[in-house]
Structure 1
Amino acid sequence: MDELQKIKNRIEELKEKIEYHNYRYYVLDDPEIEDAQYDQMMQELIALEEQYPEFLTEDSPSQRVGGEALENFVKVKHSVPKLSLTNAFSEEELKEFDQRVTKILQQKVEYVVEYKFDGLTVVLKYKNGKFIQGATRGDGYIGEDVTSNLKTIRSIPIRLKEPVSLEVRGEVLIPKKEFITLNERREKEGKSIFANARNAAAGSIRQLDPKLAASRPLDIYIFNLEFIQDKSFQSHMESMEYLRKIGFKVSNCYLCKNIDEVIAQIHYWSEHRQELPFDIDGIVIKVNDLAQRKILGNTSKSPRWAIAYKFPAKEKKTKLLDIEIQVGRTGVLTPTAILEPVQLAGTTVGRASLHNEDYIKEKDIRIGDMVIIRKAGEIIPEVVRVVKQERTGEEKIFKMPKFCPVCGERTLRIEGESATKCVNATCPAQVERGIIHFASRDAMDIEGLGPAVVRQLLQEKLICDVSDLYYLKEEQLLTLERMGKKSVKNLLNAIEKSKTNGLARLIFALGIPLVGERGGKILAQYFKSIDALSEATKEDLMVIGEIGQKMAENIIAFFENQENQKLIERLKKAGVKTKVEENKKIQDISLEGLTFVLTGSLPSFTRKQVRTFIEERGGKVSSSVSKNTNYVLAGEEAGLKLEKAKKLGIPIIDEEEFKKMINGK
C-alpha cells in the first residue's frame, strides 16, 4: 500500500471515529471518551486535510465549524409540500378530530403523541447516506437553503449508518440551560440578549455567516420521515425507530390506543412540560398507521391525519405602574406599559407595548390598574385586559402627550391614522433611531455601529446625522468608552466598505417613510441615480406599479426638505455611491437567456463565483430544476437535482465544459 493510500485510510478512520463519538455525545448523551481525546482526533484530522486537500470532503466532521459567509440564501422548492397542522385548543376539538378520522376509516385508530417543539422547522436530505441539503420550511412549498448552517449542528449526522437516500423533517432549537448560558455570555460581551430561545434558534439558522450559527448551542429533534428510497414502513413508530437506529436524534413518541389516552398524555405534559430540557408549546397528535394516513390524505393546507393541541397561553396578573413613551425613527410615539415585574413563560416581564392611543382607550387601560398579561405567540408580552373589579379609584386616565417627551416639539395625530407623531425631523430620538436604521444589516450594513456606539457618538457631538459617519477620524473614536484601536479600525473599515453598497440600499437606509427594502430596489432600478429620484414628480413616481400615492408623497417631501438635500450632497462628497453603475464591460452576453442549476461541489470554483460568471454573461441561476432549465452544472456529490435533470432530459455539464462555455468555446 502506497503512502497516499495510508493517509487516505487514516483520514477515513478518523472521520468515522469522530462521527461515532459525536453520536454518543450529542444524540445519546452518553460519551465514551474525554474531551481531550476527541479534540486530539479532530486536530489530527484537520492537519491531515490541510496537508492533503485532495482528501477533504464536504461530509468531513471538520467542516462543521462553518465556511465562508453567504451573499444570500438560495431558494429551495420542496419535493413534498410541508403542510402546516390544524390547531386544537380544547378536548372537544380533539374528540371532533377523532370522530372525523374514525368516520372516514371505519376502523380503530392508534395515535402517536409527540412534543410540539418551539423552534424552527427544517428539512434534511440525504443521498446514499450523506447529508446533501438542509432547508427551512418557508411557506411549505419554497424554503431557503441553510445547509452550511445546519452542518454546524453536531446532532445532525453528516453520514448515516446506512447508505440510504431519504428526507426527514425536524425542529432546530436551543435547550433551556444553553439558552441561559448564551444570554449570560452576550450580556458580558455587551451585546443585546435574546428575548427567547425560539427567536435565537431561528435567527441563528438564518444567519448568512455559518460561523455565527456554529457559535450558538443549537440542537435538533427529527419528528417525521418525509421520503425514503427502496424501503417502506407500516407505522410512524416503526419509521422513527429506524431513523433513531441510523443516527438521528429523534423526538420521543408515545403510542395511544384511543383519543382518551391522547387526552391523558396532554394533561400530563401540560403539568410537566417545564421539566423538559427544551420549550414546547403544545402536543402533536398523529395517526400511527401509514396506510391509514394515505386513505385520510390532506386538505390544501393541512394533513387530515394529524392535529396540534396548543397549550393555553399562560396569563399572569400584575400592576401597571406607569406608561412611558418611546419615539421611533419616523417620529411615531409608542406608549409602553411599565409593569411590576412578573415571571411569565420562562422570562421576567416588566414591559409591554400598548401600540397606540386607540388601543389604550379600547381596553380602558389606566395607570395603576391591575392587568392580565400574556405572551402573544408565547413571545411578545401583551396586556390582555384590565381587572376592573380591583380598581381603587386612584387609577389615572392616560392621555397622549401634546409635546414630544424628547425634544419638546408639538405632536400631531394625522387624520385617519391611529399614530401620534413628533413632527420635528431633528428630534434627537428620531435622529438616533434613524442612524441605527441607516447602519442596520439590511440597509448600509455597518458592522460594529450598534445602538450603544451611536448613542455615544451623538452624546459626544461627533455626529449629527448619517453623513457625519463618513467623516469620522480614528483619534475621535479612540476617545469613546470600550473603543480600542482594533474596534476603531474595524468600524472605520466597515464605514468605508458601506460606501460601495449601491443605490438600492442607500434609498432604504435614508428612512423615507413607507419606503422599505423592496421599495429601495424598485426606485433604484427605475431612476438609476439619487439625483433623478430627487427630481421625480408625483406622476413620475406613480407610473411605477408598486409605488402608491402616499409613498410618492413621502418621497417628494423627503427630497424637498433642504436639510435632506444637504445630507445627500455630503454623502456624495464622502464617496458614497448614489448611482447604479452600468457595467460597461458586459460585451460578452454568450449566456444570455440561459438558465443554469448548480448541484454538488466544483474543484476550482465556489458557488458564488459560478453565479457571478453566469450573471455577468447575461445568464440566470435557478435553485430548482424544471423544464425551463437549459443546463445543470454538476460537481462532486451532486444531489437529487442531477437525477431530476436526467429524467427531464436536460443537458448536464461538468466544470471543464463550463470553463469552455465562459471562455467562449
Structure 2
Amino acid sequence: MERKEAEKRVQELNDLLKKYGHAYYVMDEPLVSDSVYDAHLQELIAIEAQFPELIHPNSPTQRVGGDVLAGFSKVIHAYPMLSLSNVFNEEDIRDFDRRVQAGTGQPLSYICELKIDGLAVSLRYENGEFVQGSTRGDGTIGEDITANLKTIHAIPLELAEPVTIEVRGEAYMPKKSFMRLNERRDENGEEPFANPRNAAAGSLRQLDPKIAASRNLSVFIYGIGGDGGAYGQDTHADSLDYLASLGFQTNPFSKRCKTIEDVLVFIESWQNRRQDLDYEIDGIVIKVDSYEEQEQLGFTAKSPRWATAYKFPAEEVLTKLRDIELSVGRTGVVTPTALLDPVKVAGTTVSRASLHNEDLIREKDIRIGDTVIIRKAGDIIPEVVSVVMDQRNGDEVPYHMPENCPVCDSDLVRIEGEVALRCVNPQCPAQMKEALIHFVSRNAMNIEGVGERVVDQLYTTGLVKDVADLYALTKEQLLSLERMGEKSATNLVNAIAASKENSMEKLLFGLGIRHVGARAATLLSEEFGTIDALAEADVERLIAIHEIGEKVADSVVTFFANEDVQEVLDKLKTFGVNMTYKGRTRQEVPTEGPFAGKTIVLTGKLSILTRNEAKEQIEALGGKISGSVSKKTDLVIAGEDAGSKLAKAEELGIPVWNETELVDALGEKE
C-alpha cells in the first residue's frame, strides 16, 4: 500500500470506527457486530504499523493505554470546578426553592439529573479534538490524567463539530466491572475497593494507563465549563442536547421540572429504583434551568447558588449474624462470609455478606450472634458496617480464623505483606475446582461447554481430579453427568481434543500460576519456548526478562518446584497436550544473514510476492519492517512505481534492492 492510499484508508477507518464506537458506547445501539469492529480496528493497527507517521494522537488505536507515566502534572482550570451544596430532606429542598425564587423574584423551573457517584473530570477540546483531561483537584488546580481518560470509549476523541470547548463530567465504573475487579482482588489477596467510586478514582489515578484501560470505565458529561450559554443555548437542558449532538454521552434520565413538587416526585421515583441502574448514583442534582436566571443568582465562594445536590440516605438495616462461613478460592485465599438472618437491603434480600479477611473481623469486633448493621457497598455488595454493641447479651461468640484449611485441613499461612490467609496445598479440592474453571476459561485453554456445574459434577464423581484428567474423559463418561446429552458430550470431547493444540502461553496461563497473567504467560513463552525450559529457570534468569519482576519470578520457580505440578505436567504430555510456543521465540530470531537486525522499508508494487509475504519472510529472518525511510533505515526494497520513499533512500544513500534481489536473498523464486 502506498502512502497516499494508506492515508485515505486511515481516514476512512478512523471515521468508521468513531461512528461505530459512538453508536456502541454512547448510544447503546450497535451498528455492526464485534467481529466487524475488531476487523476494522486490526486493519487500522496494521496500516499504522506500516506508516507510523499516520498515527493521530486521537486515533481509535490509541485507547488501549500507552507508556507508564512518570507522574501527573498540574492543570489550572480555566473555569473553577466548584462543588455543590447538599440537601438531605424535603425541608432542605423547599428551603433551596424559596432562596432561589427570592433571589430572582419569580417562580423558576428546574432541571433534575442523576448524581453519578464517580470522579469529576474536565475535558478540553480545541477545534473539536480532545487535548486534555483533568481531575477536579481542589477546584482550581487538578491533575492531568489525559492518557487515562483516552482509554474510556465513551469520551469522544473528536467531536462532530470543530468547536473549542471545555466540558465537565463524571467518570464512573459500572457495577458489573466493579464486581469483577473486586473478585480478582480477593483472589490475589488484595484489599477490595469499598465502592465503585473509589474504584473509578483509583483507576484514573494510576500512572500506567493500561490499568485504566482494563477496568471498563465510562463517563457522563453534565455541563459546559464557564458560560453555559456561550454556544447559543438558553437553558441547561438545551446544553445537554447540544453536548449530545457533539458526540458526548449525557445521562438519558435528566428531566425538566416546572415546580419544586415535580422535583420531589422525581427524587422519590429514583430513590425507589436506583438499584436497577448499571451504575451507582448517590442522589439527585437540582439546577435552575435558565442560564439568565443562573447568572442572576450567581455564586458563593464555594458553590453556585442556583444548584444543589440531594443526597440519598444510606440504607442501613439491622439483622443477626448467625455464623461465619469460609470459602477457598483458586489461589488458596480463604475468605470469611457472614451468614445472616435474611433482610431486605436496597431492593434485594440479603442473607450473606463478605467479611473479606481476619483483620476486618478483629477491627470491627464481629462475633457470632451479634446484631449487626448491614448495607450494600456501592449499593452492590452486602457488607457489615458495624456491630450494635448495646444489643449484646453475653451469648455472642468471638470468631477466630482456623489454623487449617476448612476443605482439606492443610495449614493456613499468611504471606508477608498480605492480609489474606491462604491454603498452600495445591491438591485442595476447593482450589482444584476453581483451578479447573480457570483452566477451561476463554483466555486460557478455551474449552467450551465446561462451566461451573459441569466442573462440580466431574470433580464430585471423581472423573476429574486435576486439569490433566480432562484429557482422559470419554463420551460415555460425560453422558453419565446430569443434563448432558449426546450432542453436548460429543461437542465437549471435540473441544477438549482441540485444546491440545493450543500454544504454550494458553496452557501456561491456564495452569493458574500466581501472579502470572496472560501478558506474563506470553512473555515467558516467547523467552523459553517450551514448558520444560521454563521449569528449569531460576529467579535470576527470570527477572532478567523485561517486564518480569521478582514477585512473578518467585511464583514461577515455586510452582515448578512442586512435585504435584510436575506430575500433572507429565500427565498432560502423555495425553498429547502441546507444551511449545507456536510463535517465534526470542532465541529463534536470526542474528546472522542479509536481514538480521536490519530495518527495511518496502515500497512500490511487488509482483512476485505479496506485501504480507515479503514482510513475514523478512521478519522470519530477523529483519524489522518500517513504514518510513530515515537515516536509521538499512535497506529499501523498491517495486514498480516506487515514489517518494525511493527518492528519499537515494538522497540518503541507503542501499536499494529490486524485488528479484529480495527473492534471491530469501531463497524463494517464483
CA distance 1:107–1:154, change in 2 (3 Å): same
How far apart in 1 are the matches of 2:538 and 2:268? 54
- Asked if 1:436 corresponds to 2:417, the answer is yes
Letter in 2 for 1:19: K
How far apart in 2 are the matches of 1:67 and 1:195? 28
How far apart in 2 are the matches of 1:284 and 1:388? 37
CA distance 1:254–1:9, change in 2 (3 Å): same
Any conservation in 2 of the 1:318–1:373 contact (CA below 8 Å)? yes
**Deviation of 1:494 (Å):** 9.2
Query: Per-residue displacement from partner, 1:360-387 (whole Å, max 9, x unpaired)?
Result: 7xxxx97633233346887995646638
**Deviation of 1:395 (Å):** 2.9
Alignment partner, residue 144 of structure 1: 143
**Deviation of 1:179 (Å):** 3.6
Any conservation in 2 of the 1:165–1:228 contact (CA below 8 Å)? no
CA distance 1:315–1:7, change in 2 (3 Å): same
How far apart in 2 are the matches of 1:369 and 1:3? 74
How far apart in 2 are the matches of 1:86 and 1:388? 35
**Deviation of 1:120 (Å):** 1.6
**Deviation of 1:121 (Å):** 1.5
How far apart in 1 are the matches of 2:375 and 2:538? 42
Alignment partner, residue 24 of structure 2: 25
Any conservation in 1 of the 2:194–2:378 contact (CA below 8 Å)? no
Q: How does 1:233-252 map to 2 (within 5 A)?
A: 233-252=233-252
Any conservation in 2 of the 1:65–1:214 contact (CA below 8 Å)? yes
Q: Say which one has the larger Rg.
A: 2
CA distance 1:366–1:57, change in 2 (3 Å): closer
Any conservation in 2 of the 1:166–1:227 contact (CA below 8 Å)? no
How far apart in 2 are the matches of 1:142 and 1:312? 31
- Asked if 1:287 corresponds to 2:288, the answer is yes
- Give the aligned CA root-mean-square deviation in angstroms: 4.6
How far apart in 1 are the matches of 2:48 and 2:54? 6
Any conservation in 2 of the 1:367–1:397 contact (CA below 8 Å)? yes
**Deviation of 1:270 (Å):** 0.7
Any conservation in 2 of the 1:341–1:350 contact (CA below 8 Å)? no
Q: How does 1:77-476 map to 2 (within 5 A)?
A: 77-183=76-182, 194-227=193-226, 231-252=231-252, 253-320=254-321, 340=340, 344=345, 349-351=353-355, 368-374=369-375, 381=383, 383=385, 386=388, 393-396=393-396, 435-436=416-417
Any conservation in 1 of the 2:323–2:340 contact (CA below 8 Å)? no
How far apart in 2 are the matches of 1:184 and 1:495? 28
Alignment partner, residue 69 of structure 2: 70
CA distance 1:376–1:54, change in 2 (3 Å): closer
CA distance 1:37–1:145, change in 2 (3 Å): same
Any conservation in 2 of the 1:153–1:218 contact (CA below 8 Å)? yes
How far apart in 1 are the matches of 2:2 and 2:543? 51
CA distance 1:493–1:159, change in 2 (3 Å): farther
The residue matched to 2:231 in structure 1 has which SS? coil
**Deviation of 1:311 (Å):** 1.0
How far apart in 2 are the matches of 1:395 and 1:227? 61
The residue matched to 2:84 in structure 1 has which SS? coil
Any conservation in 1 of the 2:353–2:382 contact (CA below 8 Å)? no
Any conservation in 1 of the 2:244–2:250 contact (CA below 8 Å)? yes
- Asked if 1:46 corresponds to 2:45, the answer is yes
CA distance 1:382–1:354, change in 2 (3 Å): farther
Any conservation in 1 of the 2:80–2:140 contact (CA below 8 Å)? yes
**Deviation of 1:213 (Å):** 1.4
Any conservation in 1 of the 2:371–2:387 contact (CA below 8 Å)? no
How far apart in 2 are the matches of 1:350 and 1:87? 31
**Deviation of 1:196 (Å):** 3.4
Alignment partner, residue 610 of structure 1: none
The residue matched to 1:436 in structure 2 has which SS? coil
How far apart in 2 are the matches of 1:221 and 1:291? 25
TM-score by length of 1: 0.55
Alignment partner, residue 634 of structure 1: none
**Deviation of 1:482 (Å):** 3.0
Alignment partner, residue 9 of structure 1: 8
Letter in 2 for 1:162: E
After TM superposition, the structure 1 stretch with the greater mean CA deviation from structure 2, 74-83 or 279-288, is 74-83
* Residue ranges of structure 1 left out of the alignment (5+ in a row): 325-335, 407-427, 438-449, 457-479, 502-602, 604-665
How far apart in 1 are the matches of 2:207 and 2:118? 19
How far apart in 1 are the matches of 2:185 and 2:337? 26
How far apart in 1 are the matches of 2:542 and 2:384? 38
How far apart in 1 are the matches of 2:2 and 2:354? 66
Any conservation in 2 of the 1:237–1:288 contact (CA below 8 Å)? yes
Query: Per-residue displacement from partner, 1:222-252 (whole Å, max 9, x unpaired)?
Result: 1111147962321100111000011000023
Query: Per-residue displacement from partner, 1:117-162 (whole Å, max 9, x unpaired)?
Result: 1222211111100000111112222222111111111111000000
Any conservation in 2 of the 1:101–1:305 contact (CA below 8 Å)? yes
The residue matched to 2:225 in structure 1 has which SS? strand
The residue matched to 2:170 in structure 1 has which SS? strand
**Deviation of 1:63 (Å):** 0.7
How far apart in 2 are the matches of 1:156 and 1:354? 40
How far apart in 2 are the matches of 1:313 and 1:99? 27
CA distance 1:495–1:35, change in 2 (3 Å): closer
**Deviation of 1:452 (Å):** 7.6
CA distance 1:405–1:33, change in 2 (3 Å): closer
Query: Per-residue displacement from partner, 1:294-330 (whole Å, max 9, x unpaired)?
Result: 2212222221111111111111222245899xxxxxx
How far apart in 2 are the matches of 1:453 and 1:323? 17
Alignment partner, residue 477 of structure 1: none
Any conservation in 2 of the 1:284–1:309 contact (CA below 8 Å)? yes
**Deviation of 1:49 (Å):** 1.2
The residue matched to 1:72 in structure 2 has which SS? coil
How far apart in 1 are the matches of 2:246 and 2:258? 27
Query: Per-residue displacement from partner, 1:247-304 (whole Å, max 9, x unpaired)?
Result: 0000231000111100000111111112222121111111111121122122222211
Any conservation in 1 of the 2:73–2:143 contact (CA below 8 Å)? yes
Query: Per-residue displacement from partner, 1:499-528 (whole Å, max 9, x unpaired)?
Result: xx9xxxxxxxxxxxxxxxxxxxxxxxxxxx
Any conservation in 2 of the 1:354–1:382 contact (CA below 8 Å)? no
TM-score by length of 2: 0.55
Provide the aligned length of Structure 1 versus Structure 2: 429
Any conservation in 1 of the 2:81–2:139 contact (CA below 8 Å)? yes
How far apart in 1 are the matches of 2:376 and 2:320? 16
CA distance 1:386–1:81, change in 2 (3 Å): same
CA distance 1:494–1:265, change in 2 (3 Å): farther
Query: Per-residue displacement from partner, 1:31-63 (whole Å, max 9, x unpaired)?
Result: 122222212211121111111112111011111
CA distance 1:341–1:51, change in 2 (3 Å): farther
